[in-house]
Amino acid sequence: MKKLLFSFLIIALLIGILFLGVSYYIGAKLPALVDGFLSPHFSVSTFTESVEIVIPKGKSLNYVSNLLYEKGIIKNIRWFNYKAQLLDIDTKIQPGSYVIEPDMTLDDIFSLIQQGTPKKPIVLSIPEGHTIFQIAEEVERIGFGTAEEFINATNEIYTSQGLSFDTENLYFIMEGYLLPDTYHFTETTTPKDIALRMSATMNEFLETNYSERINELDISIHEVLTIASLVEREAYSIDEMPTISGVIHNRLSINMLLQLCPTVIYGYGKGKEHLSRVLYSHLQYENPFNTYMNLGLPPGPIAAPGRDAIHAALFPEKHDYLFYALSDDGHAFSKTYAEHLKNVANLRRLQD
């Protein structure tokens, strides 16, 4: 009896070991066997031409598998999802534009959709002398967002950067504080991103190049950018910017009206509309920006000054000129009003 019981125990043990071995083999080999059997039937379709697909940002594995199925690239959505989840692909899908070639396997496709594609740069080119309203229109034209969103984003910078200049009479708070340049963005760029980038570029330019000079002149950045914007809109060329700046500084130093037409244009159009011709009635239009009626600088910049205009504002040419008038090639400068009238008469003769 004992020998029989012992024999049963040995047989049971052997059966158990055999069962565990078979289970291990099945557990280890069966998925591969199933995969090998099903893959040819459920993997990639027999399409013959390259197919381009676009995966937007944030799309799920189901979106991708349905897209591939609709394009005729895969044969079975469930099998694709199953394989992707086994390899943890569902958490690694990158947005982008992809080209699926006819000879690609599922593994090739999995590898591809994890790569993403470089975002194409979108160029935003802002000329010197543009106003914030014009910049906002360009932002909207290219498709980054609405002009209103951009203007609101510039207003937020005033608060976020802790700026303290008086904004009471300004049409656009950050007018003149965005550096004109050629910028490269992507399709995911927002109006706020653009405003912050342009503002940061201006800050970096001023701090890197002119912090000592600004302190030396004992002048605020707001005044620097205001003068620079006047130079930008008045100068015929870069070469005469320091001379124009010298005239502005000379008039300010003796409390003389600046009498600059661009300030009248800016105030009359409230920073938006542009006058093609300034009439005498415009000069009499009461507005804080009208430098024919108000002494000193206007409340703020009237445009976005470029690097050359900013340099000229901080390094005005030393001379005794108080007047200038257009000539056949730039401006003719004069020290007295009598000389100025002669230059104006010459201009009229040229125009006639």
Question: What is the pLDDT at residue 24?
Answer: 42
Handedness of CA 59, 62, 65, 67 (dihedral sign): negative
What pTM, to 2 d.p., does this model score?
0.70
Q: How far is CA 102 from CA 35, 41, 63, in A?
A: 21, 16, 21
Residue of 62, 289, 249, 255 whose CA lies nearest to 168: 289
DSSP alpha helix (H) spans, the chain:
2-42, 61-70, 77-86, 106-112, 132-142, 147-160, 191-217, 221-234, 241-253, 261-268, 280-283, 307-314, 337-351
Q: At which residue do the structure tokens 């080119």 appear?
A: 125
| Ordered domains of the chain (ranges, CATH) | 32-118 (3.30.1490.480), 124-319 (no CATH)
CA distances from 180 to 50, 249, 263 (A): 43, 24, 19
Question: What is residue 203's three-state secondary structure?
Answer: helix
User: Distances from the Cα of 327 to the Cαs of 43, 65, 324, in angstroms?
Assistant: 77, 70, 9
Residue 248, token pair as written in the block: 């502005």
Describe the crossing of helices 221-234 and 261-268 by its angle, rounded to 10 degrees. Answer: 100
Grouped pLDDT means (10 residues each) for the chain, 352 residues: 52 52 44 47 66 85 90 88 87 85 86 78 94 97 94 96 94 97 89 96 96 95 98 96 98 97 94 83 91 97 98 97 90 93 82 67
> What pLDDT is recorded for position 155?
96
CA-CA distances (angstroms) from residue 191 to 34, 105, 205, 225?
52, 41, 21, 23
Transcribe 92-117 into DSSP letters: ----EEEEE-TT--HHHHHHHTTT--
Determine contact, residues 137/147, Cβ cutoff 8 Å: yes
Q: Cβ of 101: how many Cβ atoms within 10 Å?
A: 12
Phi, psi (rounded to 5 degrees) for 161: -95, 0
